[in-house]
Structure 1
């Protein structure tokens, strides 16, 4: 089974977006560096800028590149799916997406894309593991991510912390109840305008 990593970019006070789902400056570091993160059709890193302009600093690239390339399946909530229209059927990492939603896939929406809609977080992780094999399962933080962590289905928590204070908005861990212990961080990397942290979940 692949490792289940709950992951997102967040403000220093723990928000992944404001109350209107605006991410503000949280993703600026992803577009301000010199090192491309995505590969082109022939498997080379896309230096042309056609890959959405996703470029990070060299300090971030050594961590982010292998993490993104390890992903087999992304698990996301319906709110994010609707906000980005499922990235038009082309996720930024991995080959498959599992959407936790009580509503089905929109009729006629990108039938060629490997997107699967389930209405339960346990079923979502089971489907994601089936699709990912030994590759990583990346769970987007927020309400769904918090539910998956609370269900004991997350192995690691990864945060890209941006130096901005939101004050209010959508929380990294959603509305999770109770305490959940993590181990000491096994990754601490200072990038340009971002701090990368990764923790194993204590069992």
Structure 2
């Protein structure tokens, strides 16, 4: 089975959004470089919700492209699914999405999309691994990510650390209340206005 990675873009003080789910300048680095993450005509992956192409520094493009290509399944919470309307059935990376939710998939919503709604963390990760095969399971940070980490189901933590301080908002590690030890970072890549970090979780 593939690696389970908890991942998101995060402020220096550990927030992935403000209290109203606005990301502010956290994602500016996605649009401030000169290198497309994917070919410019790849409309499925290379555009944000605003229609602007993702253009980052060369070093960030190489890292992000490799990361996205490795993903088989994304695991997300229902709040993010509702907020993004599930990317209209086309996730930014991977072929499958598992939504952790007590509510079922909306009736008639993109029946062709491989989106699976599961109300249990353990079952959600098991399904995500099954769908991903040898590829990566990418878990969105925040409340769901913290639950997966607390359950001991995360292999690595990946952060795109941005030099901004939020002060308050939605935490990368959600409401986790028990200490977790990580190894020294095995990936440290300095982009422009972002530092890419990856840590293995200690067993």
1:49 Cα offset (Å):
7.5
Q: Name the residue aligned to 2:153.
A: 153
Q: Name the residue aligned to 1:19.
A: 19
> Is 2:98 the partner of 1:98?
yes
> Is 2:114 the partner of 1:114?
yes
Q: Name the residue aligned to 2:130.
A: 130
User: Structure 2: how far apart are the matches of 1:111 and 1:48?
Assistant: 26
1:111 Cα offset (Å):
0.5
Deviates more, 1:26-35 or 1:9-18: 26-35
Paired residue secondary structure (1:74): strand
User: Could you state the TM-score of these two structures normalised by the residue count of structure 2?
Assistant: 0.94
Deviates more, 1:47-56 or 1:123-132: 47-56
Q: Name the residue aligned to 2:197.
A: 197
Deviates more, 1:24-33 or 1:87-96: 24-33
User: Structure 1: how far apart are the matches of 2:125 and 2:35?
Assistant: 32
C-alpha RMSD of the superposition:
1.0
1:190 Cα offset (Å):
0.8
User: Structure 2: how far apart are the matches of 1:69 and 1:37?
Assistant: 11
User: Could you state the TM-score of these two structures normalised by the residue count of structure 1?
Assistant: 0.94
Give per-residue Cα distances to partners, 1:37-70, cap 9 Å, x unaligned. Answer: 23xxxxxx2x248431112110212211111100
1:2 Cα offset (Å):
0.3
Give per-residue Cα distances to partners, 1:96-148, cap 9 Å, x unaligned. Answer: 00000011111111100000000011111000011000000000000000000
Deviates more, 1:104-113 or 1:56-65: 56-65
Paired residue secondary structure (1:137): strand
Paired residue secondary structure (1:61): helix
User: Number of paired residues?
Assistant: 196
- Which blocks of at least 5 consecutive residues in structure 1 are unaligned? 39-44
Paired residue secondary structure (1:69): helix
Paired residue secondary structure (1:189): strand
- Which blocks of at least 5 consecutive residues in structure 2 are unaligned? 48-52
